[in-house]
Amino acid sequence: MTDAPFTATSSAPSPSSVVLTGITHRYGPLTAVDDVSLSVAPREVVCIVGPSGCGKSTLLRLISGLETVQAGTITVDGAPLATADRSLPPERRPVGMMFQDFALFPHLTVAGNIAFGQTDRPRAERKRRVAELLETMALTRYADAYPHTLSGGQQQRVALARAMARDPKVLLLDEPFSALDEQLRRSVREEVVRIIRASGIATIVVTHDPEEAMEMGNRVVVMEAGRIVQADTPVNLYQRPANSFVARLFGEVNRFESTVRDGQIVTPLGRIQAPHLPGGTKVEVACRVEDLELVPLGARPDAVPVRVRHSSFLGPATRVCLDLPGVASEIHARLPGHVDVRAGEELSAAMAAERVMVFPAE
């Protein structure tokens, strides 16, 4: 492995794009990243989401240079950053990274933290850039303060300013909001996204929170066991998930296993037309809890009888747990607002057929 500089190729993608091609990375016998290809364009925020150990943070470490590429290539602006043979060291990559715990230097002021790592710039230019970022992050009055005197949201803005201080072409954020309490997360998240989008930097955010990914990302990349399962817009991921794993990741569902017979799928909640599937195909049927409709007993011919186990009022919605004949586990419905149902009450339930999801059985 050498640190020799690469030469940019003439087949560059759009300016400041980051492109990963065929990235595979192993830790001993464990394959953390398995043949991953991904591109992020300027002004685009791509969120990577998935369970712990799926490889999402390893991808950030490979892009930043904290891990060495074993197979595949990483380019930025058409110039290679890393291959299996050669790699630029982290400090020479046009990449800014914001860590999960912010990693601010406690002995440096806010201005000192932002200026850190800019020693290659003339003093006047460095001072100008720090002042500019202090104003952008609404931190000018805290320039001489130390990190321990700041709130969590202020510390986060300092960490983001430091990551942006070297004018990177790619910005990496690893679980950027996990250190904040729930009340602060949403307001800080909105502010950070606004700043990032205004900067125009191609940005990759790693998060374990699907809702956070949907709120932040132009696109969301779902990873499982080191591979990309689906990369799509938040709307498509929710409405047209690639498989049962993606469907469950982005919201609670009721699931049933069945087999296609004569172009139909029979479930405990009714029949679904499936003329495109051959007979004998084993499938999994998934219905989101908000797509399960409850009506008075006998009010609809396509509904089936259910009995209320209990309900919980959640403010914007009421979650109802139900017994369904022939199903051992309870099923659930999520109804808007406050719905007055009582334990033991008998109702009818029907799936919104146009939104039912059918996947090959796992």
Domains in the chain: boundaries: 18-94+168-245, 252-360
Q: What is the pLDDT of residue 16?
A: 55
Measured in residues, the chain has a length of: 362
Q: How far apart are CA 46 and CA 21, in angstroms?
A: 16
* Residue 221 amino acid letter: V
Strand residue runs (E) in the chain: 18-27, 30-40, 45-49, 71-76, 79-82, 95-98, 170-174, 202-207, 219-224, 227-232, 253-261, 264-267, 270-273, 282-288, 292-296, 304-313, 317-323, 331-336, 346-351, 357-360
Q: Which CATH class is domain 252-360?
A: mainly beta
Strand, coil or helix: what is 269? coil
- Report the CATH fold assignment for 18-94+168-245: Rossmann fold (3.40.50)
Strand, coil or helix: what is 326? coil
Q: What is the pLDDT of residue 293?
A: 93
Q: What is the pLDDT of residue 173?
A: 94
Q: What is the pLDDT of residue 121?
A: 83
Alpha helices, DSSP H, located in 217-340: 234-239, 244-249
Q: Return all residues near 103 (Cβ < 8 A) that are at least 6 apart.
A: 159
Q: Return all residues near 227 (Cβ < 8 A) that are at least 6 apart.
A: 34, 35, 36, 55
Q: What is the pLDDT along the chain (362 residues), one digit of tens a residue?
A: 444 333 333 333 344 589 999 999 999 999 999 999 999 999 899 999 999 999 999 999 999 999 999 999 999 988 999 999 999 999 889 999 988 888 899 999 999 999 987 877 888 998 999 999 999 899 999 999 999 999 988 998 999 999 998 889 999 999 888 877 777 788 788 888 888 888 889 999 999 999 999 999 999 999 999 999 999 999 999 999 999 999 999 999 999 999 999 999 999 998 998 888 899 999 999 999 999 999 999 888 889 999 999 999 999 999 999 999 888 889 999 999 999 999 999 999 999 888 999 999 87
Rounded alpha-carbon distances, angstroms, from residue 113 to 116, 153, 196, 296: 5, 16, 19, 63
